[in-house]
Structure 1
Amino acid sequence: MALINKIREKSGLAVGIIAVSLILFIVGGDLLGSRSLFSGQDQSVGEIAGQKISYPEFNAKVDEARAAYEQQTGRPATEQDQVQLRDQAWNQFILDIAYQKEYDALGLKVTPEELVDMVQGNYISPAIRQTFTDPKTGVFDKNTVINYLKSLKTLPAEQQLAWANFEKNLSTDRTRTKYENLLRLTSFVTTAEAQKEYQAQNTRADAKFLLVPYYSVPDTTVKVTDSQLQEYLDKHKDEYKSFNSRTIQYVTFPVAPSKEDSTALYDQIKTLARGLATATNDSSYARMNSDIQAPLYMTLGEMPEQLKSTVGTFAPGGVYGPYKEGNTYFIYKYSGTKKDTNFTVRASHILIRAAGNDSAKAAARTKAEGILKQIQGGASFEALAQSNSADGSAQQGGDLGYFKNNNQMVKPFQDAIFSFNGTGLIPRLVETEFGFHIIKVTEAKTNTLYRISTIGKTITPSQATRDEVYRKAEQFATESQTKEAFDENVKKDKSLVVATAERIPENATSVNALGNARELVRWAFNDDTDINDVSSAVEVDDQYVVAVLTGETEEDQATVDSFRQELTTKVRNQLKVDQIVAKLGNASGTLESIAQKYGAGALVETVPDLNLATGFLKSAGVDPVAVGKIFGLKDGKRSKPFAGDAGVLIVETTKIVPAPTVADYTVYKNQLKQNASSRTGFMINEAIRDNAKVKDRRAKFY
């Protein structure tokens, strides 16, 4: 705001100079880089139904959405929020352009009179009801809306604009609802379709099948050539839709604190310790100087182990530490105690569950009593807990940690522990709804709270450390301008490990485990980046990344390399089918004898009560072709070997039970209608986007 006010104070020429300078500073890289306004490149963020959306036009709508969001939430939009707001703005363009063409063709609209009725009439919009419902009473009063509208002109311009956008969205949503409802009414289910669905759900079959899984033939024994992959792709082009993607290899240079950083922080924490010791308001001093917020009062159980071990030496005003936990140094100042309203205790237990009838309960009690006697005789409580306790604490030897008498535990359990004085084994079983408990109090109950002012300082890399890591990464990048040089330099530096990220989509924000990697993705998709090009050092979280572009796919160009892994699996399985079928030969005899003759890998399974709608074939999984063959065979008949999803199968139908004849298929008609109706919104969206030939190029700009 200070900068803006200063600009406003200046006169025309000065304002112009400052404004231009700011613009060049903020977006100069964009103006002078690969998407320069002066380079002649396409500056549209996308195209919808032949209409290009310019970057300024799109950005204006994003700014509008962000302003509305920030007014509604009362906080600035985060980077993640802005990603969602850009999606929201893009979808709004699709509604305004592609959907609107469909609305206009059908004459669909919301009249001013209808909008008034939605806001303050007889058929109030659900969005209005939600917005103006009193959160305390849950009551909606139409007069609240009317009074708000009467005062609208007196409200700030931002609120007036927000309301105008709100009303516009009401109208847009209502028009879309009309359109979707209209298309839902076109859904029709014939009696023949309903009858077919009824038979699919109610016809039953018992079957047996022989399966030779694809994995039973080692992949190494089946060679797949590029020509075979290309031939398969040519025959199945409709199944392999390409998209813009990039494949990279990369190395990382982590930015970790150095020994010098650790030493500097240790010196700082010692200085803070002296300040904490003399501070008159120790809690305020700690809050101002700590990276980590900690409670001012702690129970013994809430203390870190290193601090707890020094409780016996506590003296008012004493400073303890520094103690290192992970990458953080802690110092503590003790300032006395007070009494809590609740007691805290630490205990362990062994739970023997007692579910079921009276005899099971009696057996559980007998078992628990036997364990209690073993412990009283000197057996290890922890060992018996690990081998006998029926809850998650068994792995910790029954340890439940610290808890208070504020109903954290069920009442019988809590009463038994907090009525026990001191530490040790409670000499009786405690029964709760969960079963029988054998309990040992490991730290006596106490209601003492310790006033502890805490300063925690985390070791972070200094700017000098960051600069040094960046220098190393940039030097590697400079010396690795080709893929060959990249590979050679990796071999020289044994600390570097090459990772591969395949088929990164254009709008990706992460790459493998690298979060916030948007700049790396944008480099890979930059028009100036070619195959085998090497990036400069790109900062990604707490590391620098140097990458080499090794592959790319384009939306309109499906190649073998685009789908090599999937194609290889498909073609290899086809070749395995030929091997397996040849080995099966002219299958005869029982399925069991055929499997035995085939040898290792073949298995036979029985599937009772199978239905066509939801058929599942155990080891063969969900295989529609196999299920269809089972229902297409007559009782006692067997198929020839065929390729299924999981392997080569031979199916044998042992019994078919036809669905009973019914006169009315209304239930099944309604099921199919409902299923079709639930998909309508999605199918409309897909059809409109496809018809509008939507081209989304936002990833070039964000």
Structure 2
Amino acid sequence: MGIFNKINQRSGLVVGTIVLGLVLFLLGDAFTSSNSIFSSFKNKVGEIGGTSITIEDYQKAIAKAEGLYGGSSNNTNMEDIAWNQLIFDNLNIPVYEKAGIAISEEERGDLIEGEHMSEIVKQQFQSAENVKQFIANLDNSNQFQSPEEQIALQGRWKAMKQYVFDERMRSKYDALIKKSEYVTKAEAQRYYHSLNDKAEAEYVYVPYYSIKDTIAVTDEMIEKYIKDHAKEFEVEEGRSIEFAVFNNTPSAEDSAYVKKDLIAIKEEFKIAKNDTAFIRSNSDAPAEPSYVQISQLPEAMSKMVTSLQTDSVYGPFPSGQGYTLTKVIKIESDTNVVAKASHILFRTNETDPAEKKAEAKKQAQQILAEIQKGASFEKMAAQYGGDGTASNGGSLGWFGKGQMVKPFENAIFSANKAGVLPNIVETQFGYHIIRVDVPKMGKKFLVATVQKNVEAFDATVDSVYRVADGFASSVKDTGTFRTELKKFKFGAAKYEQANIDGAAKSITGVTEAREIIKWLYSDDRDVNNVSNVFSVDNKQIVVLVTGIREKGLASAKDVKDQVKPKIENEEKAKRIAAKLNANGTNLAAIAKAYGSDALTGKATDILLSSGMITGVGYEPEAVGVIFGLGKDKVSTVLTGENGVLIVKNLNFTKSEVADYSQFVSQLQQQRNNRIAYGVIDAAIKKTSEIIDMRYRF
């Protein structure tokens, strides 16, 4: 009995435990099953008009886009195309259907292979007969190399047809909206008069810039302005960051490794029977053997051009991103004769007096004598050279006949050996000391080139990663981020970017930044969070979150530079208006009473459509007031775009036309053009909420 009594006493606890177990079991199922609340959120890519878009929906849309455009390799924007298609399916199609728009089976057939074939289909197939033949072959497996190829083409054809039908629905709806646009005669009259009626006015104008005093603008004033103009400052979510970039710059060891690799294959290249095949197997930039001029050879080879031999391999030579080996296959005569030379110019002008020319010639002869005694040609060129070659030891490089002035060309192409010419050469530019570096030569070379690019290999990448990781560990906030980064004299750079959108694919200087964006938009992300190292685009990147902007109104900090001038002008307008006495009709007297900052003038040919007042600028509100005033009537004080005004209507010339049909057509065309540029799609989107959460994937 004692045992049963104890059980009875604890029965409430037992029952409670069982109930709790059942609840936990049910909740566990709710959060862990494939259809659970948690799983549903985890798989959610976004929301379009109240419809949740799952990762499966999104992936299907991407596959459809790839099918339509022939694979992701042909278009880098497949994800955006897929997302826009989901918006179209969930927003546009219901709107079209509600308007009673549909496509019959007969119309579908006509669009694909009928008399009114879609331009999209026509562009692909040219004729209905070709479409019919394609459709007939589509289900014939014998026409394809593999079942996969057949399935892929069938998918692409299905996607293309759906795209054609979607575009027909869109065009029907656009046409419906265009047909609903109606321009009345009264509208055409107003439009005509805004273009042709003219006013003449007198004004007093005090520009805002006339007030030199500093206007104190507080954050509270900025916040109030934002609230008062809320529609102008609606913003989407954004993340602001600073980030450090550590480039995987190849080391001396990486460079030596590539050079050693080329040396190892040099002998193989020399005896290779098929140079093209050898290049394809060993070069990072495969290219067919080709003929080149002397000037196109690696510089080291051009210096020993007289000793180059066929079936010989030269290098490795530094070249662009790495090193090259060059094999000389043939050496042939060439009608294109070239030479290589250097000079030291003692510049004179043709208008110089004879004494000045004589002095220049004397100096040239003295320097020539010093060079002949052993002085450095390059040093003398740097000291005395009178043109841009002085900083390069006087080198002119390779050149052919017809590229130099005649006396200079004759001197070089008459030389049969290398060396400094014994005599000064005079040209229209002055006096030249000339050294022939390579005498005239008419040869071309059939060469094959193997190029190996120097890149950061694993050891270097690991080393850079460790440096970036150490930096990330030292950062706590913006201050330490900047301080620690300054310790790197080279090899690291700081960038920043404000209000990055969740759908962004890149950030400043980083093209493949999706993993960074995904990290930025993680649910637990906060200001001063520091990322681990991202290895992206041959870089190591560390990111610091400096700001998180929520959807809604922009913060005072974000738009301070934009809003502050507007508030300053508002405050200036109050000061000016308080001082500007608008009593009376004599604007000259009003301006005089205000002071020298008040400008006066008369403006003619004022058009309502332009909003411009000559001498003042763009002031549409003031222009509207002028047209509303009676003759010789004066306005109140007006707050304008660029200053404060008082205007007086001096004259009004009204234009008339018998027939307004031309202006009806112009207005109608303007409205139709506006519709053609995506206004309808934008309006449909505006009526529904679109939540883009693709950054989570």
Calculate the TM-score normalised by the size of structure 1. 0.70
Equivalent residue number for residue 258 of structure 1: 251
Displacement of 1:108 in angstroms is 1.6
Shift of the 46–274 alpha-carbon distance from structure 1 to 2, 3 Å rule, reads same
Aligned twin of 2:163: 169
Residue 194 of structure 2 aligns to which amino acid in structure 1? A
Structure 1 CA distance, aligned partners of 2:102 and 2:277?
A: 62
**1:198-217: CA deviation from partner (whole Å, max 9, x where unpaired):** 12222345678787766777
2:536 corresponds in structure 1 to 540
Distance 1:253 1:657, change over 3 A: same
Match of 1:523 in 2: 519
In structure 2, C-alpha distance between the alignment counterparts of 1:334 and 1:582, rounded to whole Å = 88
1:56 is displaced (CA, Å) by 1.0
1:269-668 equivalent positions in 2, closer than 5 A:
269-293=262-286, 296-300=290-294, 302-303=296-297, 307-338=301-332, 423=409, 449-483=444-478, 485-486=480-481, 489-490=484-485, 498-578=494-574, 589=588, 597-598=596-597, 609=605, 611-614=607-610, 622-625=618-621, 627-628=623-624, 642-645=638-641, 647-648=642-643, 650=645, 658=653, 660-668=655-663
Q: Structure 2: which 5+ runs fail to align?
A: 1-30, 142-149, 340-347, 361-387, 390-396, 412-427, 429-435
Tell me which residue corresponds to 1:149.
135
User: Structure 1 562/456 Cα, relative in aligned 2: closer, same or farther at 3 Å?
Assistant: same
* Alignment-derived partner of residue 46 in structure 1: 46
Distance 1:613 1:345 in 2: 67
Residue 533 of structure 1: SS of its match in structure 2?
Answer: coil
Amino acid at match of 1:176: R
What does the per-residue CA deviation read over 1:87-140, in whole Å, with 9 as the maximum and x for residues that have no partner?
22222222222222222223221111111222333322222222222xxxxxxx
Per mean C-alpha deviation after superposition, the further-off stretch among 204-213 and 120-129 is: 204-213
Greater alpha carbon shift after TM alignment, 95-104 vs 36-45 = 36-45
Q: Which moved more, 1:614-623 or 1:480-489?
A: 614-623
1:341-387 deviation digits (Å, cap 9, x = unpaired): x96999xxxxxxxxxxxxxxxxxxxxxxxx99879x9999xxxxxxx
1:118 maps onto 2:111 in alignment: yes
Question: Cα distance, 1:508 vs. partner?
Answer: 1.4
Separation in structure 2 between the aligned mates of residue 217 and residue 289 of structure 1, nearest angstrom: 73
Other structure's SS at 1:151 match: helix
Structure 1 or 2, whichever has the larger Rg, is 2
Q: What's the offset of the Cα at 1:263?
A: 2.8
Distance in structure 2 (CA, Å) of the matches to 1:674 and 1:275: 72
Aligned counterpart, 2:82: 89
Secondary structure, in 3 states, of the residue corresponding to 2:444? strand
Return closer, same or farther for 1:324/1:576 CA change in 2, 3 Å cut-off. farther
Structure 1, unmatched stretches of 5+, are: 1-30, 71-75, 134-140, 347-370, 381-394, 405-413, 426-437
Q: For the Cα contact (< 8 Å) 2:233–2:553, is it kept in 1?
A: no
Q: CA RMSD in A?
A: 4.7
Distance 2:254 2:284 in 1: 16
SS in 2 for 1:566: helix
Q: Is the 8 A contact 1:509 1:515 kept in 2?
A: yes
Over residues 34-76 of structure 1, what are the superposed CA-to-partner deviations in whole Å (9 max), with x where a residue is unaligned? xx99667352212222221111122122123224433xxxxx5
Evaluate the alpha carbon distance shift between residue 251 and residue 56 of structure 1 in structure 2; reply closer, same or farther with a 3 A threshold: same
Q: Distance in 1 between matches of 2:247 and 2:616?
A: 46
Quick one: distance in 1 between partners of 2:498 and 2:95? Answer: 39
Once the two structures are TM-superposed, the CA of residue 183 in structure 1 deviates from its matched residue by 1.2
- 1:532 is paired with a residue of what secondary structure? coil
Structure 2 CA distance, aligned partners of 1:91 and 1:276?
Answer: 54
Residues 631 and 652 in structure 2, CA contact (< 8 A), matched pair in contact too: no
Query: Counterpart amino acid of 1:165?
Result: A
Question: Are 1:100 and 2:93 matched, yes or no?
Answer: yes
Residues 453/87 of structure 1: CA separation in 2 closer, same or farther (3 Å cut): same
- Work out the CA distance in 2 between the residues paired with 1:212 and 1:607: 16
The amino acid across from 1:597 in the alignment is S
Whole-Å separation in 1 of the counterparts to 2:322 and 2:244 = 28
Task: Name 1:57's counterpart in structure 2.
Answer: 57
Deviation at 1:499, TM superposition (A): 3.4
Letter in 2 for 1:59: Q
Deviations 1:421-477 (A, max 9, x none): 99479xxxxxxxxxxxx9xxx999998532122233332112111111111111222
CA distance in 2, matches of 1:161, 1:503: 39
TM-score (structure 2 length as normaliser): 0.71
Point out the more displaced range, 289-298 or 660-669.
289-298
* Aligned counterpart, 1:678: 673
The DSSP-based 3-state class of the residue aligned with 1:257 is coil
CA distance in 2, matches of 1:638, 1:663: 33
Q: 1:687 and 1:448, CA in 2 relative to 1: closer, same or farther beyond 3 A?
A: same
CA deviation map 1:576-618 (0-9, x unaligned): 44566678888964999899923xxx98998765533345678
Are the counterparts in 2 of residues 483 and 533 from structure 1 also a CA contact under 8 Å? no
The alignment of Structure 1 onto Structure 2 pairs a total of residues equal to: 582
Write the distance in 2 (CA, Å) between the matches of 1:266 and 1:93. Answer: 53
Alignment partners' CA distance in 1, 2:337 and 2:673? 54
**Letter matched to residue 228 of structure 2:** K
Is contact 1:291–1:457 with CA below 8 Å preserved after alignment?
yes
Letter in 1 for 2:114: G
CA–CA distance in structure 2, aligned partners of residues 402 and 591 of structure 1? 77
Match of 2:261 in 1: 268
